[in-house]
Chains A and B, each alone.
Chain A
Amino acid sequence: MVLNNIEKLLEKYENGESSLKEEQQLKNYFSQETVAPHLEVYKPMFAYFLVNKQEQFTKDVPLKTTRKYNYKWISVAAVAVLMLGFYFGTTLGQGDLGTYEDPELAFNEFSKSMEMISSKFNKGAATVSYLNEVSKGTSTLGYLNEVENTTSIIFKTY
């Protein structure tokens, strides 16, 4: 009777129609020591399923609680720093700039500095005049052309 039942269950099992409960019955049957000889084939199959169910995952998983930075507060701090910068920039910057009150004094001072600039400028321009020498040199190079002309004439004759 039991065997008949098992055979029926096996057929259902192979067609994928057995329920979980029926499959449990099969597993129980095949886990015992003695099985009908013609059903011996199924034994390793169910044994394998049972053995594989035992396998466990033993590795540790590092669950880090990653603290997220609150970017809102960082931006608030940045704005505060900027504001402070502007505040001190405007208050400390209003020092003495050396402004002249008297227009005549200011004019004198201005012309003096302009004179200084022009004298320095002239000194610089004088050194530039050396460039004339260079252009003179290049003009003498022009003679080389003459040499080339004559040589070309010579070579033509051959």
Chain B
Amino acid sequence: MTQKEFLNIVMPFKDKVFRLAKRLLISTEEAEDATQEVLLKLWNNKVKIAEYKNVEAFSMTMTKNYCFDKLKSKQAQNLKLVHSNYEEKNTPLQKQVELNDSVNWVGKIIADLPEQQKMIIQLRDIEDYDLDEIAKMLDMNNTAVRVALSRARKTIREKLTNTHSYGVK
């Protein structure tokens, strides 16, 4: 397989891999590294690519696993690169400005969701995968995905309603 053929396979979903990685790892740099790692792994196993039934789903699963490994090792080091850690210390004014931006709020709410719901929201609402595909990628059954999705959507809506009615949460 030449580089060009490989790129033709990989190009359509490389952004999705990146966005999923970013959803889980939060930091853009880490997500870039993760994407690079996943693509390189695919490239090194390019001989086997023809055997995979669905390269895209396979890559998404690989990304998920890679990110979980990363998160685990980071937790072990007790070092968190989560932005919310230091944003608390920012000046109140800047915070105020940010709070007005409800769109950013959605991102923060999603970041607070459990890992699984985070991934499902990402895969469903942002990447538009259907439930069966998501179930396969995450190694879950269809119903579990639906339940988690419903829970995640309700949580987001509830929290958004709260921020709207209180102004500041």
Contact = CB atoms under 8 A, between A and B. Distances in A.
Interface of A: 13-17, 20, 23-24, 40-45, 47-49, 51-53, 55-57, 59, 61-63, 65-66
B157 A61 contact: no
Interface in B79-119: 102-103, 105-107, 110
Nearest to B23: A52
Interface of B: 3, 6, 14-15, 17-19, 22, 32, 35-36, 39-40, 43-44, 102-103, 105-107, 110, 125-128, 130-131, 145-147, 149-150, 153-154, 156-157, 160-161, 164
A51 B103 contact: yes
B160 A57 contact: no
A57 B17 contact: yes
Query: What's the dominant secondary structure at chain B's contact region?
Result: helix
B3 A65 contact: yes
Given A53-B19, A59-B36, 6 more contacts: A16-B147, A41-B157, A41-B160, A48-B103, A52-B126, A63-B40
B35 A16 contact: no
B160 A15 contact: no
Given A41-B164, A49-B125, A56 B103 contact: no
A57 B157 contact: no
Nearest to A52: B126
Contact of B160 (A14, A44, A52): A44
Contacts of A61: 35-36, 39-40, 43
Contacts of A47: 103, 106
B102 A44 contact: yes
Contact of B126 (A14, A16, A49): A49
